[in-house]
């Protein structure tokens, strides 16, 4: 069969022949892959920089996807951290880490959206006690996960959602997804005005923009005793942030993370069916673009903004 194969962490995967993997347990089946998302998490898997990387090569990237199982069912699946990923004509899936999709479901939006949408879905459902009516700031709302977070927060009953980012054209699209307000990260005064009293921050950025936003919100809060829960989800702007110690003393701020590890695998799996169902029903607007597996090398360098889905 053909697969996207990484043989060096410095180079993108190459479309080439690869041995067909074999199921090893009675829970595993060989599926025909129909779609696999090219998420930032997959990029960091393929360049060896993700915190779960073991350094083993060659590897086929892809952490999740949609495939056809031997019984004919259409399934969304999540793969364990091994060197056999989803960007191949076939891959091995543990049925316990998969969910059957409604008949007729389009695999492309599901493969595109499950990873970015799950980031806010599990954060709100599994990492904090989120209650309907609370207000949410999405920091880094112009990305795919941030745009999904606006919609997921609204879906769970957020009273007021603010989207913050740096690209004006993508910020302008956020009210159409449900954002009640948008704010440019280049305007700290606007951020104070729009978000100083939020209950929850879903942070996809970390780095300097998160530290600056935290300083502004904590300093300008109307009532510093009002709880502020900062959920660290992504670090696209930098792996480290200089948090002033006073921020943790001067306001009722708690910082939690949400991701692989802080959310146990079983908690992710419990949430899969409901999210897959919402995506299959078309509840969320999804920005996806299908690219054939044979073009994976070119797709790797394409950073247009929409979520690329590799289709074998």
Ligand X SMILES: NC(=O)c1ccc[n+]([C@@H]2O[C@H](COP(=O)([O-])OP(=O)(O)OC[C@H]3O[C@@H](n4cnc5c(N)ncnc54)[C@H](OP(=O)(O)O)[C@@H]3O)[C@@H](O)[C@H]2O)c1
Answer for which of 145, 202, 211, 228 binds ligand X (CB under 6 A) is 145
Q: Which of residues 203-232 bind ligand X (CB under 6 A)?
A: 204-205, 209
Binding mask 85-124 for ligand X (x = CB under 6 A): ------------------------------xx--x-----
Helix, strand, coil percentages (3-state) for the chain, rounded to 5, are 35, 25, 40
Pairing of strands 74-78, 98-100: antiparallel
Binding positions for ligand X, 252-271, rule CB under 6 A: 258-259
For residues 208 and 240, the answer to whether their CB atoms sit within 8 Å is no
Least distance from ligand X to the Cβ atom of residue 257, Å: 8
DSSP state of 263: B
- Judged by CB under 6 A, the number of residues near ligand X is 27
Q: Residue 5's Cα: distance from chain center in Å?
A: 23
Query: At 137, phi and psi to the nearest 5?
Result: -105, 125
Contact 78, 269 (CB under 8 A): yes
Minimum distance, C-beta of residue 236 to ligand X, in the bound complex (Å): 4
- Among the listed ranges 58-66, 103-111, 138-146, 151-159, the one in contact with ligand X (CB under 6 A) is 138-146
Bridge partners (DSSP) of residue 169 are none
Among 152, 122, 124, 149, residue whose Cα is nearest residue 263: 122
Q: Select from 90, 91, 105, 142 the one that contacts ligand X (CB under 6 A).
A: 142
Contact 33, 20 (CB under 8 A): no
Q: Is 151 in the site for ligand X (CB under 6 A)?
A: no
How much is the CA Rg of the chain, to the nearest whole Å?
20
Binding part of the chain for ligand X, among 33-41, 67-75, 195-203, 291-299 by CB under 6 A, reads 33-41
Q: Which stretch binds ligand X (CB under 6 A): 68-76, 103-111, 135-143, 293-301?
A: 135-143
CA–CA separation, 162 and 216 (whole Å)? 15
Q: Which of residues 35-94 bind ligand X (CB under 6 A)?
A: 39-41
Pick from 166, 196, 252, 289 the residue near ligand X by CB under 6 A. 166
CA angle 21, 24, 25 (to 5 degrees): 140
Q: Which of 21, 67, 107, 146 binds ligand X (CB under 6 A)?
A: 146
Q: 62, 109, 143, 163: which one contacts ligand X (CB under 6 A)? A: 143
E-only strand ranges, the chain: 2-5, 14-17, 28-37, 64-68, 74-78, 90-94, 98-100, 135-139, 160-165, 181-184, 200-203, 228-232, 253-257, 288-292, 307-311
- The reply on whether position 126 binds ligand X by CB under 6 A is no
- What x/- string results for residues 291 through 310 when contact with ligand X is judged by CB under 6 A? --------------------
- Asked whether position 125 contacts ligand X by CB under 6 A, the answer is no
Candidates 235, 253, 280, 312; binder of ligand X (CB under 6 A) is 235
182 lies in the site for ligand X, by CB under 6 A: no
Q: Which residues bind ligand X (CB under 6 A)?
A: 39-41, 115-116, 119, 140, 142-146, 165-167, 170, 185, 204-205, 209, 233-237, 258-259
């Amino acid at each position: 069969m053909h697969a996207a194969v990484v043989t060096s962490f410095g180079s993108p995967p190459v479309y080439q022949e690869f041995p067909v993997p074999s199921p090893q347990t009675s829970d595993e089946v060989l599926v025909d892959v129909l779609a696999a998302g090219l998420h930032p998490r997959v990029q960091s898997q393929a360049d060896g920089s993700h915190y779960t990387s073991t350094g083993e090569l060659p590897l086929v990237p892809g952490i999740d996807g949609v495939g056809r199982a031997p019984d004919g069912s259409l399934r969304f699946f999540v793969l364990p951290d091994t060197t056999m990923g989803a960007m191949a004509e076939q891959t091995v899936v543990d049925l316990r880490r998969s969910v059957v999709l409604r008949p007729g479901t389009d695999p492309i939006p599901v493969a595109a959206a499950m990873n970015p949408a799950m980031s806010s879905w599990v954060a709100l459902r599994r990492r904090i006690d989120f209650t309907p009516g609370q207000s949410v700031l999405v920091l880094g709302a112009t990305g795919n996960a941030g745009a999904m977070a606006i919609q997921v927060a609204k879906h769970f009953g957020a009273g007021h959602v603010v989207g913050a980012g740096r690209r004006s054209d993508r910020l302008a699209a956020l009210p159409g997804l449900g954002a009640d307000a948008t704010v440019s990260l280049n305007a700290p005064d606007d951020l104070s005005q729009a978000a100083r009293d939020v209950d929850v921050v879903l942070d996809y950025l970390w780095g300097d923009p998160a530290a600056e936003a935290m300083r502004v919100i904590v300093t300008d809060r109307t009532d510093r005793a009002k709880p502020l829960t900062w959920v660290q989800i992504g670090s696209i702007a930098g792996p480290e942030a200089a948090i002033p110690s006073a921020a943790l003393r001067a306001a009722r701020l708690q910082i939690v993370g949400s991701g692989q590890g802080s959310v146990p695998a079983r908690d992710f799996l419990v949430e899969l069916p409901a999210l897959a169902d919402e995506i299959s029903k078309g509840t969320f607007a999804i920005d996806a673009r299908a690219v054939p597996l044979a073009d994976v090398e070119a797709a790797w360098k394409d950073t247009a903004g929409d979520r690329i889905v590799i289709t074998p």
